[in-house]
Amino acid sequence: MLARRGYERPRTCTIVRVDVMGIHFRFLQGTAFSARQWLAIVRQAVCCAVAAGALLACTARPERCWVCEREIHSHMRAVLSLEGGREAAACCPRCALHYKQEQGAAVRDITVSDYAGGGLMPLTSAFLVEGSDETPCIHHPPLADENRAPLQVCYDRCMPSLIAFKELASAEAFMAEHGGALHRAGAVPTLQTEPR
């Protein structure tokens, strides 16, 4: 054989297995990259994927109420079944009731989430707690006038809070901790339609 400058005899190829964060990579040792170089490439690729996922998570927008544009919390979500088979999500049962009162026949049915985590149910079969100290869809920053005197909110379509429960016992336990008035299944509270 002719000896050339910088020529190395090829090594025999062996399969090397590397575990990175629970992902198994196999490659041939003796190729253009060493095992250490491959591991560095894999680590960089994983870091890039994590960074891209974090950026996408930051840009993901939460679901918004179709009626008032507030963020919807899963345990307060209400769904309006509209004419024509469409559905629209609302931030709370009270917001859904306001829309039904305003639009009348356009709303066929309202489904609400059980605050205690028991899934969806028709509004007519829910036990409703009105006026508790829990107000999940209201996050007003404190308001003040030019003299920094605090201002009080006179009207908000989602106030007082209206929280739905599937079980009477869950509603009563919630009221013992947070207060409020109970509306039995099928009883819908009256709505304030104008500022006081």
Q: What is the DSSP string of the chain?
A: ----TT--PPPPPEEEEEEETTEEEEEEETSSS-HHHHHHHHHHHHHHHHHHHHHHHHHPPPPB-TTT-PBPPTTT-EEEEEGGG-EEEESSHHHHHHHHHHHGGGEEEEEEE-TTS--EEEGGG-EEEES-S--TT--PPPPB-TT--B------TT-S-EEEESSHHHHHHHHHHH--EEE-TT-------S--
How far apart (Å, rounded) are the C-alpha atoms in residues 18 and 13? Answer: 16
- The pLDDT score that the predictor gives to residue 194 is 56
pLDDT digit string, tens, across residues 18-27? 555 555 555 5
- The pLDDT score that the predictor gives to residue 13 is 53
- The pLDDT score that the predictor gives to residue 51 is 76
Q: Which residues pair with 20 in a beta bridge?
A: 23
Q: From the CB of residue 27, how many other CB atoms can be counted at a distance below 10 Å?
A: 17
How far apart (Å, rounded) are the C-alpha atoms in residues 98 and 116? Answer: 23
The domains of the chain are located at: 14-59, 78-183
- The pLDDT score that the predictor gives to residue 129 is 94
- Indicate the average pLDDT of the chain: 78
pLDDT less than 70: residues of the chain: 1-34, 38, 56-60, 105, 139-142, 153-155, 191-196
Q: Which residues pair with 7 in a beta bridge?
A: none
Say what the pTM is. 0.61
- The pLDDT score that the predictor gives to residue 135 is 81
Q: Which residues pair with 82 in a beta bridge?
A: 107
- The pLDDT score that the predictor gives to residue 151 is 73
- The pLDDT score that the predictor gives to residue 103 is 75
- The pLDDT score that the predictor gives to residue 115 is 93
- The pLDDT score that the predictor gives to residue 107 is 86
